Structure 1
Amino acid sequence: MKINIKRFNQANEPQKFINEFEVSNTNLLQAFNEIKKEHDETLTYRCGCKSGVCGSCAVRVNGVERLACKTNINENDVIEPIKNSKVIKDLVVDVSHETLLIEKTNSFMQDNSDEEIEQKDINKIDRQSNCILCNSCYSSCPVYEANKSFLGPFALSRALRYSNDKKMANNDLIIDSIQSNGIWDCTLCGACTMVCPQGIDPKMDILQLQGLASQKGYTNPYQATYDSNMGFDMSDMGFDPNGSF
């Protein structure tokens, strides 16, 4: 089976190129290992647990984000690094922005409450807690591609996880921090939801955060512009609002 790998080498001067490899393994990560062992020891990729838990082996297969360890390949598949992150070499990208985004959203335990935690409270935050930081959601996000200041799917799902955490005495800091370049900037396209290997739904998480923000008195800053742009004069259509039917 032949696969094509888009590669990038920063040594000396940046260079992009495509290599075609003949492999016998149908699992993508195993195919990477085969290539490195038998064909080209310089092929650079990242992996960890090899079981879909660590998220470090995320790549794009024919333009779609996938975990290499969980992906079966087909003839002439095109493999490339995930988008919207700086490529270090070949399929390895810089994901150091994760820590910065967590800090920006204040999505961590702050003032602990004394409330008793029940199983239903755990269930409420369980799905968002399963994020494996694979960055597939950022790679697929058109807003983050255009605006690197956008907090993005992972950070906002994490914001919901801690906003809904009953152990948190107050989530005001979180809700306040996600107003600018945050929940109102998302187009709700659902691309992040489609590629999440953990079944997390950032689109719905962001909608929930919009609801929480509205309850605290925040409003969509783009709504007024949207309403004014949608406005039109009914009289231009031959309708007289003061006339009789």
Structure 2
Amino acid sequence: MEIKIVRGNETQIYNVELENVTLLSVLNHIKTKIDPTLTYSHGCRSGVCGSCAVRINGREQLMCEYKPNDGDVIEPIRNSRVIRDLVVDTSAVEHFNRVASAWSEGSSKEKVSEEEASRIETQSDCILCTSCYSACPVYVVNPDFIGPFALTRVWRYVNDVREENSNAKIASIQTNGIWDCTLCGECVTVCPQNIAPKQDITMLRMKSAMMGYQDPNGAIAFGGGLDFGTPMF
């Protein structure tokens, strides 16, 4: 089996005789038996930590889950600075989560019902693998876009009945946030946890509209003024 790995400006070809194993196992074999200089990231080996995300034939995948085929091309995820080979700088996770305040900032009640917990169960499964961040086309024109993984986490907390600071979270995602998303759905197809950031962003738009916010891009198209994109009370 021939595996092609993008390493900087070059593509290196490795031939391995392994079958019915994960890509992570193939890379471990290459590193231990063929080329000890090959660099990549991995952790749990069970699709939980998200650290082994790469692009395979132009699509984001977790190495510990993907079964490789002859001729596969492996490259680092996009929209991140490549440190070496398949290892990238993942500081964007912390940065955009901080911009969007994508965490709990206070609880108004100690317990929630099963129905209330089920509302945020899917979004709580995000493993921050940044596959959606890599697949998102918005970063080509707006590197400050908060991004699908941070926005889906915002919806998780805004939709949590215990959260006391939902209004501030909605305010934080109006600029370089929900209105900048093209709703193309690329983030949905690559999520290993079957989360649908597109749907969550749509719900955040609806929530924002209920609070008086409007799409500033739509406002400009219709000749809107400075009041567009701000709460209307």
Same fold per superposition (TM over 0.5): yes
Task: Give every structure 1 segment of 4 or more consecutive aligned residues whose post-TM-superposition deviation is greater than 6 Å.
Answer: none
Pairing 1:20–2:13 present: yes
Is the Cα–Cα contact under 8 Å of residues 24 and 31 in structure 1 kept in the other structure?
no
Q: For residues 189 and 227 of structure 1, what CA distance do their matches in structure 2 show? A: 23
1:76-115, aligned counterparts within 5 Å?
A: 76-114=71-109
> Which residue of the partner structure matches residue 237 of structure 1?
none
1:7-61 deviations in whole A, cap 9, x for unaligned? Answer: 12xxxxxxx2111101123421000000001110000000000011111000111
Which letter maps to 1:17? Answer: E
Displacement of 1:101:
1.1
Larger radius of gyration: 1
Q: For residues 134 and 110 of structure 1, what CA distance do their matches in structure 2 show? A: 23
Which letter maps to 1:88? Answer: I
Which of 113, 125, 128 is the aligned partner of 1:130? 125
3-state SS, counterpart of residue 174 of structure 1 = helix
What percentage of residue pairs aligned between the two structures are identical?
49
> Which residue of the partner structure matches residue 163 of structure 2?
168
Q: For residues 37 and 121 of structure 1, what CA distance do their matches in structure 2 show? A: 48
Q: Give the unaligned 5+ runs of structure 1.
A: 9-15, 229-245
Q: For residues 106 and 41 of structure 2, what CA distance do their matches in structure 1 show? A: 37
Q: Give the unaligned 5+ runs of structure 2.
A: 224-233
3-state SS, counterpart of residue 184 of structure 1 = coil
Report the aligned-residue RMSD.
Answer: 1.2
Q: Number of matched residues?
A: 221
Q: For residues 145 and 109 of structure 1, what CA distance do their matches in structure 2 show? A: 30
Q: For residues 106 and 124 of structure 1, what CA distance do their matches in structure 2 show? A: 19
Q: TM-score, normalised by structure 1?
A: 0.87
> Which residue of the partner structure matches residue 7 of structure 1?
7
Displacement of 1:114:
2.7
> Which residue of the partner structure matches residue 234 of structure 1?
none
3-state SS, counterpart of residue 60 of structure 1 = strand
Q: For residues 226 and 137 of structure 1, what CA distance do their matches in structure 2 show? A: 29
1:52-78 deviations in whole A, cap 9, x for unaligned? Answer: 111100011100000001001111111
Which letter maps to 1:30? Answer: S
3-state SS, counterpart of residue 70 of structure 1 = coil
Q: For residues 46 and 37 of structure 2, what CA distance do their matches in structure 1 show? A: 24
Displacement of 1:144:
1.9
Q: For residues 99 and 174 of structure 1, what CA distance do their matches in structure 2 show? A: 16
Displacement of 1:115:
6.7
